[in-house]
Structure 1
């Protein structure tokens, strides 16, 4: 009997304190390996995968209009031996499809890579400090978005405002602090900027490039600074981990207003009179998040809106990034129903991006529906997205997701 009890303790399910599976009647918190009777010493393991099938009517004539994509395949582990410190490791891959597959699985697109790896020390019950490859970002809620429980098919791309420019896939190497002051939650970080970012264009007259580290050196352009602050008016959200919940499916009543920033002194460079001149990168945002049950029948409402000011340097424009402004919002409604059965959540999203360097605005409209078969742990998402940026393109995507 004693051996059976020990085995039960070791392989028992985690309490709902960490990464609760919103709306799942089956998951019960997931797998937590306990190393003591009270569960204060533990190892938590999470695995998830998102697989997509898309139809793109605007595909080139020589390409198929349908395609398949392993959007994400991830494993995350974190552990505490005492409540004073924590270690987290997160690895996986993204967007594995025909173009990134390799014959023997040795190509760059086929490789697992490190998303997060940080250590954290708890100064008190409410305040912590940590360091490593981390996701305690600034700017907005969506720049800290979890990929486990998004309401839309995927995150708003322009909200991940520094991917590949100053960081590795939205993660920086550096030092962070986070905590709570009453109903106010905060996170701040100082980080090293990546030295081989995506924007490898040459610095030429009339073109601003995000290459301050390479062209000016790490002494002048090597550090970035970020912060995000939000006031929780209703129920308190967990800030145990940095990943923000997309929709609670009515399991919490939350109303938060937030504001954040990202600063990279001399992050960009322009050429003046033949000389490289540093341009400060500064991004600011305000946002609001509201998630609430509507009555006792299982229906729920999720609403989010943000305004973001992007300054990557004078007339900067590269891929999804550009100096200018962005407004984005989405709204979703969960129909009433039994949580043990499939629940439906139609949603609508819209983003508008304006750029100083062009008169063309980027307008992105998304119309979709989620079918939650076991909360976020097993769901299907169908979304139609139209993007108008000089020309109009559209696609329909079906995604299946499971996480354990």
Structure 2
């Protein structure tokens, strides 16, 4: 076995074993400043960081197999002056490493940027409207995933289905409505599609579609996108106060939800017709999913399971980066081993995703096997994950050790 890979694995095992003696008190309420005795006027601040050591077996000959990465560094703040008004601001950076750093911290990869900035008006206890740069997305639970409490080390990449194509890091500028009718929760949004995107290709005669509707056809024909997600909560009711969906509750709730969602962008895809003219093609993505999280008995163990089917239409034979017209099946399952809530706990997990594309015969298969160590719930966590991605002529193996703390 490669010595660097062996070192990373041994470091992970050693850290897990050593850390069982380092038990932190549970996170209680976080950083919250209250400005009245009733607690209706307040400012809440959340900060988190995820640091990784990443080993890849397939790299260029002049590149190292082992690198370090600041996966996320974020600050989120939200406040209200009364129960009717809320404002949220979320900023940070992602993937700061030797390739994205700059000598004086002024390069594009070193910059903080806004992930969310939105204002919300609460119509009543159950329904709200708002607008700004927001994360009230459609499609599936994973397209609305929080990065604080994922089961796997990171989200299923293909589930952030419009990231960088029509939105800024999975956020659109637009308006939204969210709320619940009994056990049915909903979120719907009307957004401006982004002009500049990851896909800056120009369509060719006889070629496949490209995702550049607003850039190539203008905002009148391709300016708006529409999204929604609806989930029915059979057991405990999840909070929809913030847009971020929980990945695993570690047995603190009994949850069983089924959901369905959509994303539609009229004329979002562009192709060249037989007359050499640009024509639009509607982008439409639909998904159904199910989420289950439950304690198992009274010994501290718990089960988390999730599954989704997603149909992707980015235009005829569209294929670019992680995106492609076709379908996706994805599932993961995790088991929290028995233990006291005040002690460190282990959670092994498995995840598998299969992506098929109309443009290719090959399927993208992604397998993950990992282990979480919770020192203080999600507030102090270590994760060790093996990932295998098999797609075409590429079979990539990656081992990642991540440390996360959020306050």
- Aligning the two structures, in what range does the TM-score lie when normalised by the shorter sequence? over 0.9
Superposition deviation, residue 29 in structure 1: 1.8
Determine the structure 1 residue equivalent to 2:7.
none
**In 2, are the aligned partners of 1:139 and 1:283 still within 8 Å (CA)?**
yes
Superposition deviation, residue 25 in structure 1: 4.8
Determine the structure 2 residue equivalent to 1:337.
339
Which of 374, 383, 387 matches 2:389? Answer: 387
Tell me if 1:241 matches 2:242.
Answer: yes
Determine the structure 2 residue equivalent to 1:402.
405
Q: Distance in 1 between matches of 2:120 and 2:97?
A: 35
Over the aligned positions, Cα root-mean-square deviation in angstroms equals 0.9
Which of 313, 316, 329 matches 1:314? Answer: 316
**In 2, are the aligned partners of 1:153 and 1:399 still within 8 Å (CA)?**
yes
What SS does the aligned partner of 1:220 have? helix
Determine the structure 2 residue equivalent to 1:7.
none
Q: Distance in 1 between matches of 2:376 and 2:365?
A: 33
Superposition deviation, residue 24 in structure 1: 8.2
What SS does the aligned partner of 1:365 have? strand
Q: Distance in 1 between matches of 2:162 and 2:29?
A: 32
Determine the structure 2 residue equivalent to 1:75.
75
Deviating above 4 A after TM superposition, structure 1's stretches of 4 or more consecutive aligned residues are none
Determine the structure 2 residue equivalent to 1:230.
231
Residue correspondence of structure 1 range 241-280 to structure 2 within 5 A: 241-273=242-274, 274-280=276-282
Residue correspondence of structure 1 range 149-164 to structure 2 within 5 A: 149-164=149-164
Q: Distance in 2 between matches of 1:267 and 1:82?
A: 40
Q: Distance in 1 between matches of 2:183 and 2:339?
A: 32
Q: 1:80-130: CA deviations, max 9, x gaps? A: 110001000000000001000000000000000000000000001000000
Determine the structure 1 residue equivalent to 2:209.
208
**In 2, are the aligned partners of 1:24 and 1:339 still within 8 Å (CA)?**
no
Residue correspondence of structure 1 range 4-403 to structure 2 within 5 A: 25-205=25-205, 206-273=207-274, 274-390=276-392, 391-403=394-406
| Count, aligned residues | 382
TM-score normalised by length of structure 1: 0.94
What SS does the aligned partner of 2:103 have? coil
Q: Distance in 1 between matches of 2:281 and 2:296?
A: 48
What SS does the aligned partner of 1:81 have? strand
Superposition deviation, residue 178 in structure 1: 0.2
- Residues 24/212 of structure 1: CA separation in 2 closer, same or farther (3 Å cut): farther
Superposition deviation, residue 207 in structure 1: 2.4
Superposition deviation, residue 61 in structure 1: 1.4
Q: 1:255-291: CA deviations, max 9, x gaps? A: 0000000000000101012011101000000000000
Q: Mean alpha-carbon deviation: is it higher for 50-59 or for 229-238?
A: 50-59
What SS does the aligned partner of 1:213 have? helix
Q: Distance in 2 between matches of 1:384 and 1:334?
A: 18
What SS does the aligned partner of 1:80 have? strand
- Residues 24/364 of structure 1: CA separation in 2 closer, same or farther (3 Å cut): farther
- Residues 24/289 of structure 1: CA separation in 2 closer, same or farther (3 Å cut): farther
Superposition deviation, residue 233 in structure 1: 0.2
Superposition deviation, residue 340 in structure 1: 1.3
Q: Distance in 2 between matches of 1:396 and 1:302?
A: 23
Q: Distance in 2 between matches of 1:209 and 1:322?
A: 10
Q: Distance in 2 between matches of 1:195 and 1:59?
A: 33
**In 2, are the aligned partners of 1:25 and 1:339 still within 8 Å (CA)?**
no
Q: Distance in 2 between matches of 1:31 and 1:45?
A: 5
Determine the structure 1 residue equivalent to 2:19.
none
Q: Distance in 2 between matches of 1:211 and 1:65?
A: 35
Unpaired runs of at least 5, structure 2: 1-22
Q: 1:34-74: CA deviations, max 9, x gaps? A: 00011110000000000000111112211111000000000
Unpaired runs of at least 5, structure 1: 1-22
Q: Distance in 1 between matches of 2:272 and 2:386?
A: 42
Q: Distance in 2 between matches of 1:72 and 1:275?
A: 43
Q: Distance in 2 between matches of 1:202 and 1:264?
A: 19
**In 2, are the aligned partners of 1:223 and 1:265 still within 8 Å (CA)?**
yes
TM-score normalised by length of structure 2: 0.93
